[in-house]
Structure 1
Amino acid sequence: MARVQNTAPRRSEQATGVSHARLKWLLWGLLCLLPGLGAASMAFDGHGWVPLVLYPLVSLISLLLYWHDKRQARGNAWRTPEKVLHASELLGGWPGALIAQQLLRHKTRKVSYQLVFWIIVLLHQVLWLDYLFLGSRFLPFN
């Protein structure tokens, strides 16, 4: 007798619409670790509070831009240009953009968009690695 496999989504996936939610939250947390530590270190070392405030603020703006763009896409209305979305990610909103991509299932399948997005994330990681561990060879913060 064949076993019937339960293909219903788990409770956590039903609530958020995200598959592998725990793994994705873990990845998100790991990606935010360097920028968070770097921004906190910069703030407490007297180099300014701007990054510590900017990341959450611009992340919220990015999430709202994605939400608006998704609504516009469903209604065949005027869309948010990808340049605007990428600019918000580059300014520090990539954590909010990553959350929006997963929750809204928006801009996740377009390879050219994802390539630019992940390059922006990598750029942030490299710059914070430089600031925290290499003495700011690329940026004049020290």
Structure 2
Amino acid sequence: MEKEFLAGDKYGLFCIPDISVPGGNCMTIPDTTLLHLVLYVVLNIFSFLTFADDKLKAKNNSWRTSEKRLLIYAFVGPFGALAGMKLLRHKTQKLKFKIVYIFLLLHILVIGYYLMPFLNG
């Protein structure tokens, strides 16, 4: 019997199928973890939209978002910032925006650290 991905149970926890154990066992994550994941995705979307807005302002020769603010948004949402840089070709030539790659690496390391208990069982 397989459990559905993220099917809620009576304890308010979410089930993620554990593919390492045959028989449909599941790993559970607390509701707050799902909330954190949603907030993290929203921050990255906001970061992407900020880079997109600044690119549009650059094309229209209007008031721009400061580089300091863009870097702050890149720090909290590096996936969105890097997507904005690569897809929109915005701020890719600026040396100080190479730090976005470091922000991304830090986020990947932190996410990996927090996922280790779920991956190890």
TM over 0.5: yes
Cα distance in structure 2, aligned partners of 1:83 and 1:63: 15
Q: TM-score, normalised by structure 2?
A: 0.62
Cα distance in structure 2, aligned partners of 1:117 and 1:54: 20
Please say if 1:79 is aligned against 2:64.
yes
Match of 1:118 in 2: 101
Match of 1:5 in 2: none
- Sequence identity percentage: 36
Aligned residues: 91
Cα distance in structure 1, aligned partners of 2:35 and 2:70: 20
* Larger-Rg structure: 2
AA in 2 matched with 1:109: Q
Gaps of 5+ in 1: 1-39, 136-142
What is the DSSP-based 3-state SS (H/G/I as helix, E as strand, rest coil) of the residue aligned with 1:129? helix
Gaps of 5+ in 2: 1-14, 17-27
Please say if 1:102 is aligned against 2:96.
no
Q: TM-score, normalised by structure 1?
A: 0.54
More helix by share: 1
Cα distance in structure 2, aligned partners of 1:73 and 1:83: 16
TM-superposition CA deviations, 1:7-54 (whole Å, max 9, x none)? xxxxxxxxxxxxxxxxxxxxxxxxxxxxxxxxx98xx42271333102
AA in 1 matched with 2:91: K
TM-superposition CA deviations, 1:59-81 (whole Å, max 9, x none)? 22112111110111123322111
More strand by share: 2
Match of 2:42 in 1: 57
Match of 1:11 in 2: none
Task: Point out which structure has higher relative CO (alpha carbons under 8 A, 6+ apart).
Answer: 1
Which of structure 1's runs of 4+ aligned residues deviate more than 6 A? none
Displacement, 1:84? 1.9
